[in-house]
Amino acid sequence: MSVIEVNNLTKYYGKARGIVDVSFDVKEAEIFGFIGPNGAGKSTTIRLLLSLIHPTSGSAKVFGKDVVTHGPEIRRDIGYLPSEVYYYEGMKVIDLLKYSASFYDCDCTERLHKLSETMELEMNRRISDLSYGNKKKVGIVQGLLHSPKLLFLDEPTAGLDPLMQRKFFDLIREENTRGVTVFFSSHILGEVQRLCNRVGIIREGKIAEISDIRSLQQNNYKKVRVMAENLDPAAFNLPGVTNLQTEDGMVHFFFKGDINSVLQKISGVQVNDLTIEEPTLEEIFMHYYE
């Protein structure tokens, strides 16, 4: 079952482009990564799904219901962590969390305290006294405390130290194993790679690619590095080879196609060292942005 269905969703801010003709599906209990550089339309997409803004054309459904007409109902089961967290400055952390909890029909007190403990939140401090990272932690607890079925995380790790990031990822994985669907937007590919099952790549407001994270890595390029004496790089100028470079007697290149053609070439050479590996998402990503 699809938790999110987006059909030809388009948003213009006056004449400025938000997103154009975006379509994708997110299945139940998957972690969907949404990758793109700043200004590509990641936040616009999330804000449309939360009906913070209204689409210019196209439609979107969450839990099978239209986001424009059934907003309040849908948002009962949504947790949202915005990329920039801003809360009522005069409030104490605990008061803000209680205020947030009061919007939902649940007794979230126990969960509230458990989550705050995990994220090491100081409950009696004022929001205005918190650092950026600490505000982000408030955002995480606030987004999770009503046990939502769908989580929107908009660049959630910015401002968190590596230790907190790991705790946060563990938390998200734990939620996910309980069946929570996660929509994870980021421009940091490493973290998407660590967490997500599928990714959508958005570029200048348009979807460039939607793919399984494994097939994105497998079906595409291999990174080949060959170290040998008196190696002629030109020998590897085969069809399917890109980015051919020589460095300290090592030849490296990306290859897409039948790997045997490369292996045949290599077998004719006295090789000192050889690696064939999957490129990182970073490297694939650069390819989409070339």
Partner 1 sequence: MSATIYLYELRSRLKSVITWSIALVAIILIFFSIFPGFADQAALLNETMSKFPPALLAAFGLNQVDLSSVLGFFSFIFLFTQLCIAIQAGNYGFGLVSIEETDLTADFLVSKPVSRAQILNSKLLAAITSLVITDVVVWVSSIAAFMLFNADRPYDTHTLILLLLSLLVFQLFFLSLGLVISLLVKRVRSVTPYALGLGFGMYVLSAFSGLEGVSVLETITAFKHFDPNYIIQHVAYNTPLVLLDVAVIIVSLAVSYWLYLRRDIPAVS
Question: At closest approach, how far in Å is the CB of 84 from partner 1?
Answer: 4
* Residue 198, Ramachandran bin (φ over 0: left; ψ between -120 and 50: alpha; else beta): beta
Distance set, CA 286 to CA 8, 123, 188, 271 (Å) = 25, 42, 12, 29
Residue 22 burial (CB count, 10 A): 24
Cα–Cα distance for residue pair 208/204, rounded to 1 Å: 9
217 near partner 1, judged by CB under 8 A: no
C-beta closer to partner 1: residue 69 or 242: 69
Q: What x-and-dash track marks residues 139-178 binding partner 1 by CB under 8 A?
A: ---x------------------------------------
Q: Least separation, in Å, of the C-beta of 30 and partner 1?
A: 22
Q: What is the enclosing helix (H) or strand (E) of 63?
A: none
Rounded Cα distance, 235 and 251, in Å:
10
* Shortest Å, Cβ 225 to partner 1: 43
Token digits of residue 231: 């190696």
At its nearest, how many Å lie between partner 1 and the CB of residue 67? 12
φ/ψ of residue 109, rounded to 5: -55, -45
* Contact by Cβ (8 Å): 189, 281: yes
SS3 at position 272: strand
Is 185 among the residues that bind partner 1 (CB under 8 A)?
no
Tell me whether residue 34 or residue 254 sits nearer to partner 1 (CB atom): 34
Q: Is 116 in the site for partner 1 (CB under 8 A)?
A: no
154 or 254: whose CB is closer to partner 1? 154
Size of the site for partner 1 (CB under 8 A): 30
* Residues of this chain that bind partner 1 (CB under 8 A): 13, 43, 47, 50-54, 71-76, 78, 80, 82-84, 86-90, 99-100, 102-104, 142
